[in-house]
Structure 1
Amino acid sequence: MLQTTSSITITQPEDWLTAPERFAGEWQGAARGAQICVIANLVEKVGAGVGLHRHPYAETFVVRKGRVSLMIGDETMEGREGQIFVVPAGVPHGFKNAGPGPLEMIDIHESGKFITEWLD
């Protein structure tokens, strides 16, 4: 249930996390007064991930746990726990779990709603 206290909006975990016990889900901020969207990613299978796509706004990836193989434009780079990557608007990107264990990332979209062009 969406809760508002004075000018603060609170979204409960059950309202956006599809798997609260695994911290995975999507949240679009526009309906809640925010100009960002958030994805909590949990990719357990090594080699699995998200194919190439782009957005008309920047996207920031925060690697919480594990290792990620990021495809950004013509480059592929590996990221690790604690690193933050910012992909500029319009640049094709995707990612895969680089293993050996699960990958946890928080993806922050600089838009109140998701706008994605899938390229794969």
Structure 2
Amino acid sequence: MIAKPSGIGRTASAMYGRRSMRIVRGSDQLVEQRPSPLPTIQRLVSAATGSTQLTVLVNQLDAGDEVGSHTHDVEEVLYVVTGRCQVEAGDETAALHAGDAVVIPPGALHGFRHSGQPQATVVAVLASATAQTTWSQRPSREMPGIG
């Protein structure tokens, strides 16, 4: 017998009570100011907001801000909404601009940084509402920029 993943074949009302959707207002979610060089982050969607499958994080990066090397136990998509950033994953490096996205597989060591102006907005979508992060490097300003 093949088991269906949680939620497959269930109606929205079965998953969310009688509601077909759950609205999470950004204005209701805490924006966390973190010490430099970490970006400002808003945990928009997670288990805390009722999600059962995803985490959505909105990162606001000023010049020099970065998220150091880390891994997740699930797949992650980084989507650049505004500005640009440099992403490192494994032994690969890529410059991303507004409208670009990158898919990071589970367990891949990765990080990203912003060295330009103006501010960059990077949305991270993790394939779990309770994704686990393991840090291997604290951000440091010595890492080269994207030029």
TM-score between both structures, scaled by the size of structure 1: 0.82
Which of 21, 25, 29 lines up with 1:8 in the alignment?
A: 21
Unaligned ranges ≥5, structure 2 = 1-16, 33-39, 138-147
For residues 1-120 of structure 1, the aligned pairs below 5 Å read 6-18=19-31, 24-31=41-48, 32-44=50-62, 46-120=63-137
Amino acid at match of 2:104: V
Aligned length: 113
Select the structure of larger CA radius of gyration. 2
Identity of aligned residues (%): 29
The structure that is strand-richer by fraction is 1
Q: Bigger relative contact order, structure 1 or 2, given CA contacts below 8 A and separation 6+?
A: 1
Structure 1 runs (4+) greater than 3 angstroms displaced: none
TM-score between both structures, scaled by the size of structure 2: 0.68
Q: For the residues of structure 2 that align with 1:67 and 1:14, how far apart are their CA atoms?
A: 25
Q: Is the contact made by 1:28 and 1:113 (CA closer than 8 Å) also made in structure 2?
A: no
Q: For the residues of structure 2 that align with 1:28 and 1:9, how far apart are their CA atoms?
A: 10
